[in-house]
Amino acid sequence: MTKKKKKESWKERRRRAALRYQRRLEAERLRGETKRRKSEGWPRSKVLGIAFLASIVVVGVYAAWQSTRPTSSSELAPLFALTDFDGNNVSLTDLRGKVVVLDFFATWCEPCKTEMSHLVQIDEAYNNSKVMIISIGSSSDSLSDLQQFREDYNMTWIVACDTPEEKTLDKYDVKYIPTIVIIDQNGCVYYRNAGTTDASTLISKIDALLGP
């Protein structure tokens, strides 16, 4: 009996020692976790959330800034020389210092017909020497069709037809019509859009170039 009691006592001592050791390990772990949290500051999930919100604000401010500033471009507009329907030579080189609105169109293109009403508004709003509109028809159209189109849609601005030699549409990489290209006073491409461009958009771009 005495021997048995001593054996149980030894087991109990081992159990208690193991518990004390486990408690020390847990205490050390908790102290280390507390120090880590203090050094790191906010929890990682909270930091990531704030960083995400901050990035949204920065992107929004940048986008707003970009939408209100004139677009700068170092892309020189390809030069061309055509003859308009009144027999006048039309050369981009001669228009340096002016804002040029190029309109690439075709008589069979329905969106091109819609675009004409917007260009009429631009022509009426900037009927001066600072802004020039040039509509360039596809060489696939006949001259008679282009002339009739010009009369039907009251195109009082410069209208010319592209030629197989000049290949103006290829120079401007026109893949869809209508395509609008705005060229700044320095002869650089400032804005381009494939598809119908409304008058309000054109006015905002032109005004940004003309300044106050």
Q: What is the pLDDT of residues 51-105, one digit of tens each?
A: 444 443 333 433 333 333 344 457 999 999 999 999 999 999 999 999 999 999 9
DSSP letter, residue 84: B
Half-sphere exposure of 40 toward its Cβ, with a 13 Å CA cutoff?
Answer: 13
| pLDDT of 186 higher than 90 | yes
Which of 87, 104, 91 lies closest to 182 in space, CA to CA? 104
Please, what is the Cα angle at 66 between 63 and 69, to 5 degrees?
A: 150
Burial profile 171-197: b = 16 or more Cβ within 10 angstroms, e = fewer:
ebebeebbbbbbbbeebebbbbbbebb
- Pairing verdict, β 131-137 and 158-161: parallel
Looking at the chain, list the stretches that DSSP marks H as alpha helix, in order from N- to C-terminal side: 2-40, 44-68, 110-125, 143-152, 168-171, 199-210
User: Residue 38, Cβ neighbours under 10 Å: how many?
Assistant: 8
Q: Cα(101)–Cα(198) distance, rounded to whole angstroms?
A: 13
Homologous superfamily of domain range 81-210: Glutaredoxin (3.40.30.10)
pLDDT of residue 8: 53
Residue ranges per structural domain of the chain: 2-68, 81-210
Task: Considering only residues 68 and 170, tell me which one the structure prediction assigns the higher pLDDT.
Answer: 170
| pLDDT of 172 higher than 80 | yes
pLDDT of residue 129: 81
Q: What is the pLDDT of residues 38-51, one digit of tens each?
A: 544 445 444 344 44
